[in-house]
Amino acid sequence: DAKTTQPTSMDCAEGRAANLPCNHSTISGNEYVYWYRQIHSQGPQYIIHGLKNNETNEMASLIITEDRKSSTLILPHATLRDTAVYYCIVRNNNAGNMLTFGGGTRLMVKP
Amino acid sequence: NAGVMQNPRHLVRRRGQEARLRCSPMKGHSHVYWYRQLPEEGLKFMVYLQKENIIDESGMPKERFSAEFPKEGPSILRIQQVVRGDSAAYFCASSPQSGTNTGELFFGEGSRLTVL
Q: If pLDDT is split at 50, 70 and 90, which confidence band does B60 have?
A: very high
B51 contact A CB<8A: no
Lowest-confidence pick of B47-51, B65-69, B93-97: B93-97
Residues of chain A with confidence (pLDDT) below 50: none
- With pLDDT > 70 as the criterion, what percentage of chain B qualifies? 93
Instruction: For residues B40-61, give the mean pLDDT.
Output: 91
Position B1 scores a pLDDT of 53
Kindly determine whether residue A44 and residue B55, on different chains, have CB atoms separated by under 8 Å: no
Q: How close is the nearest chain B Cα to the Cα of A46, in Å?
A: 6
Could you give the CA distance from residue B60 to residue A46 in angstroms, rounded to a whole number?
24
Position B45 scores a pLDDT of 93
Position B102 scores a pLDDT of 65
Position B43 scores a pLDDT of 92
Q: If pLDDT is split at 50, 70 and 90, which confidence band does B115 have?
A: very high
Position A37 scores a pLDDT of 97
Position B39 scores a pLDDT of 86
Taking CA atoms, B17 is separated from B13, B14, B34, B78, B90, in Å, by: 6, 6, 21, 11, 17
Instruction: For residues B16-33, give the mean pLDDT.
Output: 94
Q: Does B100 score more than 60 pLDDT? A: no
* Arithmetic mean of pLDDT over chain B: 91
B5 contact A CB<8A: no
Q: How close is the nearest chain B Cα to the Cα of A6, in Å?
A: 13
Instruction: For residues B20-37, give the mean pLDDT.
Output: 94
Position A2 scores a pLDDT of 65
B83 contact A CB<8A: no
Q: Does B101 score more than 60 pLDDT? A: no
Position B99 scores a pLDDT of 47
Yes or no: say if A52 and A27 are a contact pair by the CB < 8 Å rule.
no
Q: How many CB atoms lie within 10 A of CB A5?
A: 13
Could you give the CA distance from residue B95 to residue A34 in angstroms, rounded to a whole number?
15
Which residues in B68-82 are b (16+ Cβ under 10 Å) and which e?
bbeeeebbbbebeeb
Q: Does B116 score more than 80 pLDDT? A: yes
Q: Does B28 score more than 70 pLDDT? A: yes
Contacting residues for A22 by C-beta, under 8 A, at least 6 apart: A4, A5, A6, A33, A35, A70, A71, A72, A73, A88
Residue A17 is given by DSSP the state P
Taking CA atoms, A95 is separated from A30, A53, A103, A108, B55, in Å, by: 10, 21, 22, 33, 12
Helices (H), chain B: none
For residue B48, list chain A residues with Cβ-Cβ distance below 8 A: 96-98
Q: Which of A8, A83, A31, A38 is nearest to B43 (CA)?
A: A38
